[in-house]
């Protein structure tokens, strides 16, 4: 049987309360053996180096980052996330059983 897939989009900066909600949701999904994908876009790209995002990545969350948003905000490329565009985001939306956004 194929595992369930959850996609999460985060577009708010690290100081926004959405980060806490996203971390809780992703942690619970991983606990339930759900493949979890997190896409950071717009001001959300600023969460890339947040310790809570690092912890999610270490737990197995697959992390994607909007390359355009990162470039506009001066965030250098790193191996912490897959730097990509909206085509990948579209594929995530289509490929996940559930997809939620935090704006």
Mean pLDDT score, 51-73: 97
- pLDDT for 1 equals 64
Torsion of CA 98, 29, 10, 101, to 10 degrees: 30
What's the alpha-carbon Rg for the chain, to the nearest Å?
Answer: 13
| CA count, 13 A, side-chain hemisphere, 101 | 8
What is the Cα–Cα distance from 100 to 26, expressed in whole angstroms?
11
Sheet with 5-10, strands from edge to edge, namely: 82-84, 62-66, 35-40, 5-10, 98-102
**What is the pTM assigned to this prediction?**
0.95
**pLDDT at position 40 over 70:** yes
Q: How many domains does the chain have?
A: 1
Task: Report the CATH number at residue 12.
Answer: 3.40.1260.10
Mean pLDDT of the chain: 96
- pLDDT for 56 equals 97
* Structural domain for 41, as ranges: 5-102
Residues facing residue 101 across a β-bridge: 9
């Amino acid at each position: 049987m194929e595992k369930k897939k959850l996609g999460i989009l985060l577009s708010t900066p690290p100081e926004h309360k959405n980060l806490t909600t996203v971390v809780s949701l992703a942690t619970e999904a991983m606990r339930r053996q759900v493949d979890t994908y997190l896409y950071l876009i717009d001001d959300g790209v600023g969460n890339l180096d947040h310790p809570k995002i690092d912890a999610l990545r270490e737990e197995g969350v697959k992390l994607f980052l909007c390359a355009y948003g990162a470039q506009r905000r001066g965030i250098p490329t790193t191996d912490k996330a897959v730097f990509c565009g909206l085509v990948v985001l579209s594929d995530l939306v289509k490929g996940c059983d559930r997809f939620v956004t935090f704006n």
